[in-house]
Amino acid sequence: MTALLETGDMSIPQSSAREEIAPQPANNKVVVRNVSKQYGSRQVLNDISFSIPEHRIACLVGPTGCGKTTLLNIIGGFEKASAGSAWVDGAQVNGPSPSSGYVSQQANLFPWLTVWDNVRFAVRFGRGLRKNWSSPKEMDARVAAYLERVGLMHARDQYPYQISGGMKARAALGRVLLTNPSLLLLDEPFAALDALTRSSMHRLLLDMFREDHERTGLLITHDIEEGLLLADTLYVMSRWPARIIHRIDVPFGWPRDYDNLVQTPQLGRLKHEVLELLRPILQSE
């Protein structure tokens, strides 16, 4: 049933949402089965089903306010579905879990803590995360390693108000990655950043995925290029009550090199094609 758009040498394999009903293969990290969500009389999500295989990154795109964040919240265990269910690692989601790392648009660093203490917070106090370290010294060594990795060691003693938006995003990412989550939930994590900083964050994430390719993720974004750069699959959502109306398999393999990818003409062409797919939805707003 997969259709290929005619795009020359690089085309987008896409399928309609109806093919995604009731996914349940054993190697899926995330399974969303017939999820609906209603707030009062308003139905936000309508019978959504899709899956994310192990070690793959999926991306949700769609009009503003269509319910992408609600869906991510249901997968993360922060909200309950009105109907249907979400499964992570074969277990039905009943609440938040440290195995899911959540990063949002507002970095949500604690303003009263330094960068160092913010990054260390979860592993210091989180139930089930503390036991990963045999000693505080080992924990601090890991914190230092992650701060180095996100390029913030020089700002370790600074407070969130003293650092830039990009540095905050790096710190938030470092805090989450340090907990070693097997599932990354990224809710427009770079939306508040300027284009240059956002590209540096894309580069950082791709570098991290290259070093650690066992990460599964769900990314919400309005930036099609971001979705194409970082994800394996794009799910296009309709206006509310939202459904998944297109699934697009991104034809870039792993590992991905940011500098090479952004220079390829295929990226621009793919972006254009995805925008063409989105146009009828956006025009209907």
Partner 1 sequence: MLEKSSSGAAWTPFRERNWQLFRDSPFYPALLLVFVVAFWQFVLPHIPFLPSKYVGSPAGIVRSFRELSSQGYEGVSLIEEVVSSVRRVLIGFCIGAVLATPIGLLMGYRKCVGRLFGPFFGFLRPVPALAFIPVILIWFGIGDAGRIVLISMTSFLYIVLATSEGVAAVPEAYLRAARNYRLSSTRTLLSIVLPASLPSILIGFRTGMALSWAVVVAAELIAAQEGLGYMIKDAATFFRINVVYVGIILIGLIGILLDWLFTLIQRRTLHWLSK
Q: Quick one: 69 or 233, whose CB is closer to partner 1?
A: 69
Judged by beta carbon, residue 179 or residue 199, the one nearer partner 1 is 179
Q: How far is the CB of 208 from partner 1 (least distance, A)?
A: 19
Listed residue (232, 223, 238) closest to 271, CA to CA: 223
Q: Residue 247 CB, nearest distance to partner 1 (Å)?
A: 28
Q: CB–CB of 119/174 below 8 Å? A: yes
Tell me the C-alpha distance between 206 and 92, whole Å.
Answer: 30
State in angstroms the smallest separation of the CB of 120 from partner 1.
12
Contacts for 130-138: CB closer than 8 Å, 24+ residues apart: 132/180
Taking the least distance from each CB to partner 1, the nearer of 118 and 199 is 118
In eight-state DSSP terms, residue 242 is B
Residue number with CB closer to partner 1 (126 or 280): 126
* Coil/strand/helix, residue 210: helix
**Nearest-approach distance from CB 206 to partner 1, in angstroms:** 24
> Least CB distance from residue 129 to partner 1, whole Å?
6
d(CA 171, CA 158): 11
**Spatial separation of the C-alpha atoms in residues 15 and 4, rounded to whole Å:** 9
> 39 vs 254, which CB is nearer to partner 1?
39
Instruction: Please report how close the Cβ of residue 205 comes to partner 1 at its closest, in angstroms.
Output: 19
Nearest to 147, CA basis, from 180, 181, 170: 170
Classify residue 130 by its DSSP letter.
G
Provide, rounded to whole angstroms, the least separation between the CB of residue 177 and partner 1: 13
Nearest distance, CB of residue 235 and partner 1, angstroms: 23
Q: Toward partner 1, which CB reaches closer, 118 or 221?
A: 118
Nearer of residues 62 and 77 to partner 1, judged by Cβ = 77
Closest CB to partner 1 among residues 12, 30: 30
Contact between 34 and 48 under an 8 Å Cβ cutoff? The reply is yes
Please provide the DSSP assignment of 194-249 as one string.
-HHHHHHHHHHHHHHHHH-TT-EEEEE-S-HHHHHHH-SEEEEE-SSSB-EEEEEE
Residue 183: which H helix or E strand, with range? strand 183-187
DSSP output for 142-162: HHHHHHHHTT-GGGTT--GGG
Binding site for partner 1 (CB under 8 A): 76, 78, 95-98, 100-102, 104, 106, 108, 110-112, 121-122, 125-129, 159-162, 179
